[in-house]
Amino acid sequence: MCGIIAYRGRKKTAGNLVLTGLKKLEYRGYDSWGVAVNDGESISVCKKTGKIGELNIADLKLPRASLAMAHSRWATHGGVTQKNAHPHMSSQGKIVVIHNGIIENYLELKKKLVKKGHTFHSETDTEVATNLIEEELTLALKKARQSEVSRELLLHAVQSALAQLEGRYAFLVMAEGCDALVAARRGSPLIVGVGEKGEYFVASDIPAFRKYTEHVMYLDDEELVIIDDKGAEFIDMRTQKLLKKRIIKITWKSDDAEKGDFPHFMIKEIMEQKETIQRAINQEPRLIQRAAAMINKAFGTYFVGCGTAGKVSMVGNYLFSKIAHKHINVEFGSEFPNFRHFIKKGSLLLAISQSGETADTLEAMEVAREKGAKLMTLVNVEGSSMDRMADLSIYLNAGPEKAVASTKATTAQMTLLTLLAYACADRLDEGRKLLIETAAKINDMLNPRYEAHIRAIAKKIDKVESMYVIGRGMNYPMALEAAIKLQEVSYIHAEGFAGGELKHGPLALISKGTPCIALVANDETRAEIISNATEVKARGAYVIGVGPQNEDVFDEWIRVPDVGNASPIVTTIPVQILAYHLALLRKNNPDMPRNLAKSVTVK
């Protein structure tokens, strides 16, 4: 969940450079940060609580050096304190480490290290790794009867220590008196950026160094890279073999990951849906047909995702039922392992994700793979763990999504699921035509007047304590998704219900003035959802209708185009805008919701 970046090259301003890169990851909602600068002789560490975005880098007056690494933390083990912030230095100051992930056996290792005289200053699991590497390095130096830390001894110490760790991680390691950088990965992303003339970056996310290079090499699980004057050497930690890596060119521009003229990433990304839906449709038809053939052939297909992507999986279920008359199993990533018994060799798991790094979805993929199932992914981040694990990847092509609240990735995922459902029914052209028309209508819909209308509605309800969203059919999962969007940025208690479930309990929650959003599609569910809206209105609800036509029961109407089976794609957009404006009216930062991070790489 943390942001990581390192630089090794010719520039002597490595410290400033990594902090500038770290600021690009600020959107992920971090609580503290730190930097380590290594001039080849000694390592200086500076760390603080608070947001990196608020830092004036020049004020730090970091030493000149061409090797540095920085980290922004999202607290898991231990509170938000300066001591718990990374980088962590070992007891004797020989080793400095940055870490993302969780070391499961850290307590047991800590006890052993304390007995050997190591001291600990933080509550983190990372400090255990730091001291373990130091312990291994001290032993290796003794054995080699030398006092200088060579790259070989550092490599040996890192590998010996990592072999003792259980859990998932990404590590960056530096040693005093050595100008090499070691990075290792097991389950947490690390990407190497290749700059000019022997210049390298290592980061958890490409935006951290995208400004400096468009060329990357991906580190896979159980792989390590050592970067020094010889360049970047990749090693398979299981076999000790040297690995040859392909340099890959990134397709998106550095500006794509900037806010531009927009005040927040969230609204920028909402507005980008004018183009991103069209980009999602522009897939190679043969790829969609290949994916559809895999689904049609599978003995049991599972759509898996977490949070919003989990709700998108549920929409997929309705789409496949309605369009392709096909049964799909749907599970949240965290719940999927409970159903492992049903997975067979011929089964198929489709992992739906923006980041491609969500730990629970990745675990589901691992479980399915162990059972011999085929893996497919709908993912935004090329080169992500899910992309690398899947037998077939379909990219959302939505460009970097930086706001914690997923918007453009969500609609791109639904667009692709709709396309896949039509392809499975052998009606791909019909599906494409529908989606192209939908994209054009969304383009017309997303204008300043539309946004102002929704903001005016937000102003009427921004003080409420609770609100509800109802939907039926394909718009039932969208009601659940709408609730997530409202919760995460407005902090208003919001819940989504299937319209038909209201009278089985939730109706008791409605009182005078309770806002209730009704998501209406012009299909076989229309009459019933209007009837549900009438039920809540009769109990005093303030009904906000989102649908293609104004209905008598609506107190407010937000128009969406009438797009048949693409209805969930259009009903979600006004709720995104509503959530954004509620966040602003309630003085919340919509890009960085409290307690949340963009990419949930821990279980």
**C-alpha span between 100 and 534 (Å, rounded):** 50
Q: Tell me how far, at minimum, the Cβ of 442 lies from ligand AGP, in Å.
A: 19
For ligand AGP, which residue of 100, 347, 406, 601 counts as binding (CB under 6 A)?
406
Q: Which stretch binds ligand AGP (CB under 6 A): 111-119, 307-315, 364-372, 471-479?
A: 307-315
Q: Which stretch binds ligand AGP (CB under 6 A): 98-106, 128-136, 400-408, 523-531?
A: 400-408
**C-alpha span between 9 and 199 (Å, rounded):** 4
Residue among 503, 518, 425 nearest 472 (CA): 518
Query: Parallel, antiparallel, or unpaired: how do β-strands 223-228 and 215-218 relate?
Result: unpaired
Q: Tell me how far, at minimum, the Cβ of 307 lies from ligand AGP, in Å.
A: 2
Rg (C-alpha) for the chain, rounded Å, is 25
Catalytic residue among 2, 46, 178, 306: 2
The pair of three-digit structure tokens given for residue 14, joined into one six-digit string: 């490595």
The pair of three-digit structure tokens given for residue 8, joined into one six-digit string: 């090794």
How many CA atoms, within 13 angstroms, populate the side-chain half-sphere of residue 361?
A: 35
For ligand AGP, which residue of 188, 599, 601, 602 counts as binding (CB under 6 A)?
599
Using the Cα atoms of residue 20, residue 22, residue 25 and residue 26 in order, give the sign of their dihedral. negative
For ligand AGP, which residue of 38, 273, 276, 308 counts as binding (CB under 6 A)?
308
In the block, tokens 């897939």 appear at: 283
For ligand AGP, which residue of 288, 404, 423, 560 counts as binding (CB under 6 A)?
404
Binding positions for ligand AGP, 55-74, rule CB under 6 A:
none
Edge-first strand listing for the sheet containing 329-332: 329-332, 301-305, 348-353, 374-379, 392-395
| Residue 274 designated active-site | no
Contact status, residue 130 vs residue 96, Cβ threshold 8 Å: yes
What would the x/- binding string for ligand AGP be over residues 356 to 395, using CB under 6 A?
A: --x--x----------------------------------
Residue among 192, 131, 127 nearest 158 (CA): 131
DSSP string, 577-599: HHHHHHHHHTT--TTS-TT--SS
Identity of the residue numbered 115? K
Q: Which stretch binds ligand AGP (CB under 6 A): 21-29, 139-147, 351-359, 455-463?
A: 351-359
Q: Tell me how far, at minimum, the Cβ of 351 lies from ligand AGP, in Å.
A: 8
Long-range contacts of 499-504 (CB under 8 A, 24+ apart): 499/470, 499/471, 499/472, 499/525, 499/528, 499/529, 499/531, 499/532, 499/533, 500/472, 500/528, 500/532, 502/470, 502/532, 502/535, 502/536, 503/535
Q: Tell me how far, at minimum, the Cβ of 244 lies from ligand AGP, in Å.
A: 30
**C-alpha span between 450 and 447 (Å, rounded):** 5
Q: Tell me how far, at minimum, the Cβ of 80 lies from ligand AGP, in Å.
A: 20
Asked whether position 20 contacts ligand AGP by CB under 6 A, the answer is no
Q: Which stretch binds ligand AGP (CB under 6 A): 68-76, 160-168, 365-373, 402-410?
A: 402-410
Q: Which stretch binds ligand AGP (CB under 6 A): 2-10, 231-239, 301-309, 581-589?
A: 301-309
**C-alpha span between 44 and 340 (Å, rounded):** 48
Contact status, residue 568 vs residue 413, Cβ threshold 8 Å: no
Residue among 457, 480, 454, 453 nearest 468 (CA): 480
Using the Cα atoms of residue 444, residue 449, residue 453 and residue 455 in order, give the sign of their dihedral. positive
Nearer to ligand AGP, 153 or 277 (CB): 277
Number of residues that bind ligand AGP (CB under 6 A): 16
Asked whether position 354 contacts ligand AGP by CB under 6 A, the answer is yes
Binding positions for ligand AGP, 81-120, rule CB under 6 A:
none
Cα of 84 vs its chain's centroid, Å: 23
Nearer to ligand AGP, 66 or 487 (CB): 487
For ligand AGP, which residue of 276, 355, 490, 565 counts as binding (CB under 6 A)?
355
For ligand AGP, which residue of 5, 155, 161, 306 counts as binding (CB under 6 A)?
306
Using the Cα atoms of residue 194, residue 196, residue 198 and residue 204 in order, give the sign of their dihedral. negative
Angle 285-297/408-424 helices, nearest 10 degrees? 70
Q: Which stretch binds ligand AGP (CB under 6 A): 10-18, 108-116, 348-356, 583-591?
A: 348-356
Asked whether position 192 contacts ligand AGP by CB under 6 A, the answer is no
Cα of 268 vs its chain's centroid, Å: 17
Nearer to ligand AGP, 438 or 576 (CB): 576
Binding positions for ligand AGP, 254-293, rule CB under 6 A:
none
**C-alpha span between 519 and 517 (Å, rounded):** 6
For ligand AGP, which residue of 6, 202, 295, 309 counts as binding (CB under 6 A)?
309
Nearer to ligand AGP, 65 or 483 (CB): 483
Beta bridge partners of 233: 226
What would the x/- binding string for ligand AGP be over residues 472 to 491, using CB under 6 A?
A: ------------x---x---
Asked whether position 307 contacts ligand AGP by CB under 6 A, the answer is yes
Q: Which stretch binds ligand AGP (CB under 6 A): 70-78, 242-250, 355-363, 466-474?
A: 355-363
DSSP string, 384-427: SHHHHH-SEEEE-------SSS--HHHHHHHHHHHHHHHHHTT-
Q: Tell me how far, at minimum, the Cβ of 364 lies from ligand AGP, in Å.
A: 11
Catalytic residue among 47, 94, 537, 598: 598
For ligand AGP, which residue of 18, 454, 600, 602 counts as binding (CB under 6 A)?
600
| Residue 24 designated active-site | no
Nearer to ligand AGP, 20 or 384 (CB): 384
Q: Which stretch binds ligand AGP (CB under 6 A): 10-18, 129-137, 303-311, 499-507?
A: 303-311
- Distances in Å between the alpha carbon of 143 and those of 153, 180, 310, 340? 10, 21, 53, 48
Output the residue with the shortest Cβ distance to ligand AGP.
Answer: 307
The pair of three-digit structure tokens given for residue 3, joined into one six-digit string: 């942001």
Nearer to ligand AGP, 235 or 404 (CB): 404
Cβ neighbours around 45 below 10 Å, total: 17
Asked whether position 353 contacts ligand AGP by CB under 6 A, the answer is yes
Nearer to ligand AGP, 120 or 252 (CB): 252
Identity of the residue numbered 258? E
Q: Tell me how far, at minimum, the Cβ of 563 lies from ligand AGP, in Å.
A: 23
Q: Which residues are catalytic?
A: 2, 598
Name the residues that contact ligand AGP, by CB under 6 A. Answer: 306-309, 353-355, 358, 361, 404-406, 484, 488, 599-600
